[in-house]
A and B are shown apart, each in its own frame.
Chain A
Amino acid sequence: MTSIKDMTAIAGIGLTEYSKGTERTEWSLASEAIKLAADDAGIKVKDIDGLVKDIDDGWDCSYVQKTLGIDNLLYSSESHWGTSSMLNVVTAVASGTANNVVYYRSRKGATTTRRSPSDYRVAKETLDDSISILRIDFYEPYGLATPQGCAAMLQQRYMHEYGITPEQMAGVIIGISEYGAKNPLALYTDKPVTMDEYLNSEMTVAPLRDIDCAPGVDAGIAILVTRTEMAKDLQQTPAVIMSAAQGAAIEGEFLTGYNQEKMTDFPETMNMAEELYRVAGITAKDINVAQLDDRFAPLVPMQAEALGLCGKGEGAAFCGAKSLPINTAGGSIGEGFMDSNRIVEAVRQVRGTSTSQIDNAEIILYAAGAGGPADGLIIRK
């Protein structure tokens, strides 16, 4: 059986400006980001022959084709709930289906309340039936109507099971915000969060605090993947993809997998990690830098455990001890929720261009979809 190991590489990254509010459409942001990714790689836009969008975002590939002038797409797809789509991109390129495939996200997270499957509606005056496809109808009549609440339910159980203190939870945010403070793109972390600030911060959905939640940002991000041998001839240092994987698990839902045997285990992430390390031929111990899903900070320690970076119940202490650099650009907490901004930071670590460059950044882990269908990526120079 062939393996995707090392066959593909991230050759280009494209980022629009990050803002807390723009008049521009997501279509415009997506188009610009994809062009920038092609420019960054040093390929022509018309040589992009595959597009993968995030299911949470609005603009279908066919619209982006209209702005980029791409005649044909040999491959297009979108992600599973709550996960980014790098495995789609990698398999499309590694199989030879397409040559230059872009994963893009464009979101007006700061300014829109656009309805999308995982963007639970808050303005519900016009609809009084819950969305059926995610079966959130078992939660919404009880006012469990936001992902913040769904995540807080996992956090409460986690803190109870392992005796995690709020001070330990603070360590997660403190570590990430220290990196964010050094990154000028991290609009939301001007300076590191302090312990006092954390402990005195407002609880929005106890035990989850406002400060634990990644704010929305308006931005477009594109990641361009090509075959490693091609990437070597392009203008950037290739970020070679050692492995990409997705993970799911029985009784998994989007942050509401409360009927999983142990809801704090994140079995989707455990399954994903097993495959991710197997394909890469490494273990969790080989990871030098991690870019983890921090749309809600308490998900980070649970995720670190599920990724095997530390033992069960040790995640909060592990994050606080900073034994492994996590979210070196400030993550979604600092830059706003995009997921793919953490892929960009993983690539910066390979290129040596991070605002918090880690000296021995040889093997970098990216993970997304904590508390639901998960995905991950391992890259190296």
Chain B
Amino acid sequence: MVEYVPGIPILKPYIDADNKPYWDAVNDHKFVVQQCNKCKNYYQPPRPMCPECLTLDTMDFVPASGKGEVHSYIIYTTDKMAYPGMKIPYAVMVVELDEGVRITANNADDIDTEEIHIGMPVEITFVDIDDSLTLYQFKKREA
């Protein structure tokens, strides 16, 4: 789980035309991944053109499983390098989704920092930080 320090804002995603549908979906507690409807490749981070097809108008955002395995993770253990708005220790995980793309996020409340390990099965859940910000996190999943 992560705990926030009151009074210090969480850095919000910078929203623009290329990633807006992604974060709009998160806001609605839905998880989407960008997929080119021509070559069917998935992409993360979202981008304005498919590097395979070189097309601008084929980049869809499609519902994704949100399920995957921890690919790597770190634990901020001192405040020296950590983001001051988050209480230490906190973990950040890179999760490889079934779709093949890797997504970075924190662990949800049901995962203790100490139990995170590479290969751990996890799935997306959502947390409303405040009125203007919703983020995804990863919670435990039965393998």
Q: Are A154 and B78 in contact (CB under 8 A)?
A: no
Is B50 engaged at the interface, CB distance under 8 Å to the other chain?
no
Is A308 engaged at the interface, CB distance under 8 Å to the other chain?
no
Q: Are B78 and A202 in contact (CB under 8 A)?
A: yes
Query: What is the size category of the interface that chain B forms with chain A?
Result: 35 or more
Q: How distant is B31 from chain A, measured CB to nearest CB, in Å?
A: 13
Across-interface contacts of B75 in A (CB, < 8 A): 203, 205-206
Q: Are A206 and B74 in contact (CB under 8 A)?
A: yes
Across-interface contacts of B84 in A (CB, < 8 A): 122, 124
Is B81 engaged at the interface, CB distance under 8 Å to the other chain?
yes
Q: Considering the complex, which residues of chain B in the window 68-86 have a beta carbon less than 8 Å from any beta carbon of chain A?
A: 71-78, 80-86
Measured CB to CB, the nearest residue on chain A to B103 is A138
Is A322 engaged at the interface, CB distance under 8 Å to the other chain?
no
Across-interface contacts of B71 in A (CB, < 8 A): 157, 258
Contact with B along A191-207 (1 / 0, CB 8 A): 00000000000111111
Is B51 engaged at the interface, CB distance under 8 Å to the other chain?
yes
Q: Are A204 and B81 in contact (CB under 8 A)?
A: yes
| A-B pairs under 8 A by CB, number | 127
Q: Which of B16, B45, B76 has the largest number of chain A CB atoms within 10 A?
A: B76
Q: Of B14, B72, B104, which one neighbours A156 at CB under 8 angstroms?
A: B72
Across-interface contacts of B78 in A (CB, < 8 A): 202-204, 210
Measured CB to CB, the nearest residue on chain B to A263 is B72
Stretch of A2-10, A20-28, A127-135 with 4 or more beta carbons under 8 angstroms from chain B: A127-135
Stretch of A71-79, A142-150, A167-175, A366-374 with 4 or more beta carbons under 8 angstroms from chain B: A142-150
Known: A157-B118, A258-B102. A142 touches B74 (CB 8 A): no
Q: Are A259 and B92 in contact (CB under 8 A)?
A: no
Across-interface contacts of A207 in B (CB, < 8 A): 74
Q: Are A153 and B92 in contact (CB under 8 A)?
A: yes
Closest CB pairs A-B (n = 4): A157-B72, A143-B83, A132-B14, A140-B11
